Amino acid sequence: MSDMNQQMTARYKNNFLKEIEEQAEMGDWVKMCMQCGVCSGSCPTNFHGGWDHPPQELFMMIRAGKRDEVLSSNSMWQCVSCYNCYVRCPRKVPITHVMHGLAEYAYRLGKAPKGQPTQHLSKTFWDNATKYGRVNEVKLTQSLYFKDGIGSGIKKALEMQSMALGLVKAKRLNPMEAVGGGHKCKDLKGIHAMLAKARELEAKRKGRQPA
């Protein structure tokens, strides 16, 4: 159990709804759900790929205090951010954002399902973007291809060879970016300072130790 998880369990005891309201982004919207199910009916994924719970059910579980089940659910990682539920919700609950807020919080607590592909992409993307202040597409692609080892990485790269060459020809992809650090933004220090400050502000707002 992570430190933060212990800290939060101790702080909120059995009041999981309150925990979500205070700790997860947009979590204070959960109580406004009226269980009409329009979000679930609107989801274009049709819950293929094995959603553990549809959105409104997840919200009900939060109210019912099912902490472990909610935080370790794969549902919020399955959301494709199409915003259909958000647009259609008669209570105007920003469901897409709530789902992302829950995902982020579960990850922070170390409760998110391990090896979940969306989670891997998010993490990779974030690290990539924050390291040099801009997204290095070659490195991002590389780290995604080689996620499961050298063999499968080469295989995937060969499969995508013609597209890559096309992109290079059209000057949309520069292979030289793979060499060394690649492009950096002009004020890298400034970016890092901004991110640190944002983290500090968030921690303060949510009453927890800066990560």
Partner 1 sequence: MAEMKTAAYICKGCELGSRLDAASLVKIATKEGKMNLVREHDFLCSADGVALIKNDIDNEGVTHVAICACSRRAKTEAFNFPANAVSRGNLREGVIWIRPDTDAARETTQEMAEDYVRMACAEVKAMKVPEGNQNTGGVKTLLVVGGGISGMTAALEASKAGYKVVLVEKTGALGGMTAKLYKRIPTREPFKAPEDNGIADLVAQIEADANIKVYLNATLAKTSGAPGRFKVEIAVESGSVATEDVGAIVQATGFTPYDMNKLPHLGGGQANVVDQAGLEALAKAANGGPIKRADGKEVKSVVFVQCAGQRDTSGEHLQYCSGHCCNTSIKQAMYFKDSNPDIDTVVLFTDLRTPGNGEDFYRSAQNKGVIFSKGVVSNVSANGGGCKVKFKDLILNEETETDADLVVLATGMVPTSGPDLDALSEATRAAEGGDEAAKEQVVQMKSKSVLNLDYRQGPDIPQFKHGFNDSHFICFPYETRRTAMYAAGPVRRPMDTVQAVEDATGAAMKAIQAMENAGLGKAAHPRAGDLSFPTARLEGCTQCKRCTVECPFGAIDEDEKRFPLFNESRCRRCGTCMGACPVRVISFENYSVNTVGAQIKAVDIPDEFSEKPRVLILACENDAYPALDMAGMNRYEYDAFVRVIPVRCLGSVNTIWITDALNSGYDGVMLMGCKHGEEYQCHFVKGSELGRYRMSKVYDTLKGMNLEEERLMDLEVAITDIETLPKKINDYAAKIVAMGASPFKGL
- Measured from the CB atom, the residue of 8 and 70 that comes closer to partner 1 is 70
CB of 53 to partner 1, least distance (A): 9
- Two tokens at 150? 């050298």
CB of 63 to partner 1, least distance (A): 5
The contact set with partner 1 (CB under 8 A) reads 17, 31-32, 34-35, 56-57, 60-61, 63-64, 66, 91
For residues 40 and 75, the answer to whether their CB atoms sit within 8 Å is: no
CB of 85 to partner 1, least distance (A): 16
User: Residue 52 and residue 74: Cα distance in Å, rounded?
Assistant: 6
- Two tokens at 161? 């060879």
User: What are the start-end ranges of the H helices in 31-66?
Assistant: 38-42, 55-63
- Measured from the CB atom, the residue of 73 and 136 that comes closer to partner 1 is 73
For residues 136 and 183, the answer to whether their CB atoms sit within 8 Å is: yes
* Three-state secondary structure call for residue 1: coil
- Measured from the CB atom, the residue of 40 and 136 that comes closer to partner 1 is 40
CB of 15 to partner 1, least distance (A): 9
- Measured from the CB atom, the residue of 17 and 103 that comes closer to partner 1 is 17
User: Residue 167 and residue 150: Cα distance in Å, rounded?
Assistant: 23
- Measured from the CB atom, the residue of 51 and 107 that comes closer to partner 1 is 51
CA proximity to 121, closest of 110, 132, 109, 135: 135
How far, rounded to the nearest angstrom, does the alpha carbon of residue 150 sit from its chain's CA centroid?
26
- Measured from the CB atom, the residue of 17 and 191 that comes closer to partner 1 is 17
CB of 35 to partner 1, least distance (A): 6
CB of 100 to partner 1, least distance (A): 22
CA proximity to 58, closest of 50, 45, 67, 49: 67
Strand residues in the chain grouped as ranges (E) = none
- Two tokens at 111? 């409760």
